[in-house]
Structure formats: structure tokens, C-alpha cells
């Protein structure tokens, strides 16, 4: 509970910071993508676990699946399947909650991250590491960027 209160205070104060952590000042009333991004931000510091898709630990695609499921969106389990089946998004059209894909080990897409806005993404980097926030323009990731996709959509009020 304390962690959620702290996150909400960070989100609400983001407009005061020189580099806000959240894509929207109030994630509770923001769109689906901003809420997906806010869920990803909540997982920073969580341990990496191969095949993990819960708060006990995450791998990259498990994190993406988990934060989307919290908003009611079911997406494929692997980075390659998420990339292949998602709605492509141009880099200049990225919005919070979009998934970013990378080619880390070769020609195939094998890593995914959640874009949170302000040129930053949250990802589960690998064994021995924890979920963290990284800049999309960091040289290592910029060289391996494969594209982006959107799985969330805005809900229509009924």
C-alpha cells in the first residue's frame, strides 16, 4: 500500500520535476496506455526471473503481459509473438504504454520493454538484474531497436 501511495505521489508531482517519471500527471484518470505505463513503473526494482510473469519476478515479455493484463488486455507471452501480432507504431508516434522491441541476441526480436513516455522505458534486463527504467536513446539500445507496437486501446465510455 505504501508503495502505491508513493508512486501516486510521484505521478501527481511529475509536472513539478524537470524529468517526470510518469506519462500523465494522474494515471488513475488517464487513458489505458498511461495506466499500462504506470503499472510498469510500479514494478521497478522487482527481480528478474526467467519465465516470470508475476510479482515474484519477471522476464521481459512476462512484464509486458502482466502490465497489460492489469488493464484487461491479453497479449501473447513472448517478445517475438508480441512484436509480430501487435499494431505497429512509428517511433515518432510512441505513446505511453506502447511496447518497444529489440534484437539483442541476433536477427530475431528477443527483448521487449514498456514505453512510459519522456524517452524512457521500463524493462526486465536479464538474470541477476532487476526491472529498471532506461532511456530509449541510450546507445546500446538504440543500436538494437527493432520497432514498436501498441496492444492497448482507449476504452469508450458507455
Query: Which positions are annotated as active-site residues?
Result: 60, 111, 123
Overall residue count recorded for the chain in this entry = 158
Cα-only R_g, the chain: 15
Residue 23 corresponds to which cell in the numbers above? 506519462
| 36: DSSP letter | H
SS3 138: coil
CB 96 within 8 A of CB 115: yes
Amino acid at each position: 500500500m505504501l508503495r502505491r501511495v508513493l508512486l501516486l505521489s510521484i505521478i501527481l508531482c511529475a509536472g513539478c520535476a524537470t524529468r517526470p517519471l510518469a506519462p500523465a500527471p494522474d494515471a488513475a484518470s488517464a487513458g489505458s496506455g498511461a495506466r499500462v505505463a504506470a503499472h510498469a513503473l510500479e514494478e521497478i526494482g522487482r527481480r528478474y526471473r526467467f519465465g516470470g510473469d508475476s510479482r515474484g519476478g519477471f522476464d521481459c515479455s512476462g512484464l509486458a503481459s502482466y502490465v497489460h493484463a492489469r488493464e484487461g488486455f491479453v497479449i501473447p507471452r513472448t517478445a517475438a509473438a508480441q512484436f509480430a501480432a501487435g499494431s505497429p507504431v512509428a517511433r515518432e508516434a510512441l505513446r505511453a504504454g506502447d511496447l518497444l522491441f529489440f534484437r539483442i541476441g541476433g536477427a530475431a526480436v528477443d527483448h521487449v520493454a514498456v514505453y512510459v513516455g519522456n524517452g524512457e522505458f521500463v524493462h526486465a534486463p536479464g538474470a541477476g538484474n532487476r526491472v529498471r527504467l532506461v532511456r530509449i536513446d541510450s546507445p546500446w539500445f538504440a543500436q538494437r531497436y527493432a520497432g514498436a507496437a501498441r496492444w492497448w486501446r482507449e476504452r469508450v465510455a458507455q
